[in-house]
Every structure is written in structure tokens, then in C-alpha cells.
Amino acid sequence: PVYNGAQGEKALDESYTVLKKMVALAETQHVRLTLMFSPQYADYIATSPVRRIDLSNWKGTGHEIGAWHRGPADKDWDGYTNLSKEALAQARRGKTPKEPAGGHSEYFASFRQLEPAIRTGCMEDKADREFLAAAPGYEICPGRSAGGKKARLSCASPSGRTGIEKSTRAFSRMNDGIYGASFNSSPADFGPFYAWLSFLKTRDPQGLKSRTVSGIAEKNLLPVKKPGALKPENTAKTPRETRETRLPRLKPVPDIRSNMNKGRPPRLKPVPGFYSRFIRFMTVPSGRKVIILKKPPPEKDKKKK
């Protein structure tokens, strides 16, 4: 996906210049892009006949139009919400105060000028459930919590030489599956976008494997995440024993073998033999053990009977 969320006339003009270069470069390789627009960007395109013609041509060559929403908790909030005043004030705590421009009805009205039926969205809003319930069918951001089937789409946001190298290595190790990359239509991201498409050209010169987000979902190219196993029902815990319910403990009964050992004479300790007093071991430098015999000491004269 290519995200387009610039705000302000000057920033929008600069971003749109980069976006046109990105789309033109992608079309030379037949790469299909999913173009994610903010409501301000959608109004910017809709108010210019020239830009509307550009958009019509992009859609004709297979690119997809998507909706990008940033909720009140984001410092770059797009101004649309269905939250109450109290909930909005809590979400905007510590951020620049801003009056809402409308709810989800006004938000999606901006996109009907570009695409009557938006299929892909990025709803970065966890608090506004009413807004999320009206989101497009295919969600690519983690903010949505309105339920439905879930599938995992691996996506990188490469920036700089290190980011490009890591992403290309990860892509090169994949033999099948779906892998994507996301960029912003900004001068800073055009270099990484160019490098990424140069890499794709070595793997898929004609763009035969390129797909948009909705194209991936509608062709069932992603495995659907299986629902988790149901947790077992809570069972009553066994009550702990109390003094009243605890059974009396029996005294241990002596084993019969212990009775059999009674009356046996104690075992004698071994006494060194005669020759053991004259033998010792000595380790020689070679590591071998040599037995050395000592001459026995002279015996004392026996008493005559």
C-alpha cells in the first residue's frame, strides 16, 4: 500500500507530485498498488479535474483506492469521529484541541467522489466502535475490533539501506505466500520505493504476481486464522480441609522387615590384613602404579614357656 495523508495545500501538492512518480514507476513493471487516502487527500483530488483524470487512469490500470482513517487518539487525527464530547476529550488528552469535522457518514462521503464502493480500509481507531462498524470489508490495520474472519498479511515498511536489505532478504526466503511493502507518498519514501521496485523487477519482471489488497482477499490467497479453542467451563474448586473435616492421621506401623532385623549381631568392621601393612602405592612420572614392598619390622623375642 501507498499511504497518502498529507495535510495543508503545500504538503498535499508535494505529496501528489511524488505519488504520480510512484504510480508511473509501478506501471512500467505492471505492479498494482493499493492507494490509501485520507479524507482530506480525497477532497484534494476530487476538487481538481486534472487530478480526477489521473485517478481514473490509475483505476483503469488496476490500482485500488482505499480509505485511511486516523482516530482522535492520533496526534494527526483526520477530524472525523462518532465519539461523544466526553470520550473525545479523553481521547485527545495531551494533544492539540480540534473540533470534529463529522462522523463516519461524512467521512465516507468524501471517498464516494473517488470510488463508490471502498473495499479496503485502514481504520486506526480503537475507541470509536460505531466508526469501526462502518469500516470497509477488508481491513489492513490492527485498530479494527468489529469481529469477522482474520488473516495474516506479512508487510514491511522498508526505509533506508538497512531496511531495504532486511526486506529483500525476507522476501527472497519465501517460496510461496503473500508479502507486501508499505510506503508514504513523500520525498523521503520515494528512494526506498524505487529500490523495492528494482528488487521486485529481478523476481517478477512482468508483475504477473502483483495483487492489490482486495484482490488478495477476494481470491482467498491468505489462510484464514482459525478461531481459538473454547475455554473449559469453570468447575467448582475442591474445598480446603478444615480441622472439622480433616480425617485423623494414623501412626506409621513398623515394617515387618524391621522386626526381622532385631536380634541380629552387629556387622564387624574389616581389619587390615597382615600384608596390607607392608604395601603402598606410588605414582611414578610415567603415570604407572608400582607396588613397593617394605621389609617387615623385626619381631620381638618370644617369651620362653
The string of pLDDT tens digits covering residues 243-273 is: 555 555 655 555 545 555 555 555 555 555 4
- Contact between residue 71 and residue 65 where contact means Cβ atoms under 8 Å apart: no
Arithmetic mean of pLDDT, 109-117: 92
Q: How high is the pLDDT of residue 48?
A: 97
In a domain, 100, yes or no: yes
pLDDT score for 291: 42
Instruction: Please give the share of the chain, as a percent, with pLDDT higher than 70.
Output: 69
Q: What is the pLDDT of residue 288?
A: 46
Let me know if residue 34 belongs to a domain: yes
Where is pLDDT greater, at 104 or 146? 104
More confident residue, 145 or 12: 12
- Print the domain residue range for 103: 2-218
Better pLDDT: 76 or 177: 76
State yes or no: pLDDT of 208 exceeds 50.
Answer: yes
173 is a domain residue? yes
**CATH code for the domain of 112:** 3.20.20
pLDDT of residue 33: 97
Mean pLDDT of 22-50: 96
Give the total number of structural domains in the chain: 1
Q: Is 94 part of a structural domain of the chain?
A: yes
Identify whether 212 is part of a domain: yes
Asked if the model's pLDDT at residue 30 lies above 50, the reply is yes
Q: Which pLDDT does position 139 carry in this prediction?
A: 83
Of the two residues 288 and 135, the one the predictor is more confident about is 135
**Residue-wise burial string across 69-84, b where 16 or more C-beta atoms lie within 10 A, e elsewhere:** bbbbbeeebbbbbbbe
Residue 203 located in a structural domain? yes
Average pLDDT on 130-134 reads 85
User: Would 228 be classed as within a structural domain?
Assistant: no
Is 67's pLDDT higher than 50?
yes
pLDDT reading at 289 higher than 50: no
CA dist., res. 301 & res. 299, Å (int): 6
pLDDT of 179 strictly over 80 = yes
Which range, 59-73, 159-173, 291-305, has the best average confidence (pLDDT)? 59-73
pLDDT at 239 over 70: no
Q: What is the pLDDT of residue 223?
A: 66
The whole-number pLDDT of residue 242 equals 54
Which three three-digit cell numbers place residue 202?
529481478
Max mean pLDDT range (7-11, 34-38, 266-270, 301-305): 34-38
pLDDT for residue 120: 92
Residue 191 within a domain: yes
For residue 198, is pLDDT > 60? yes
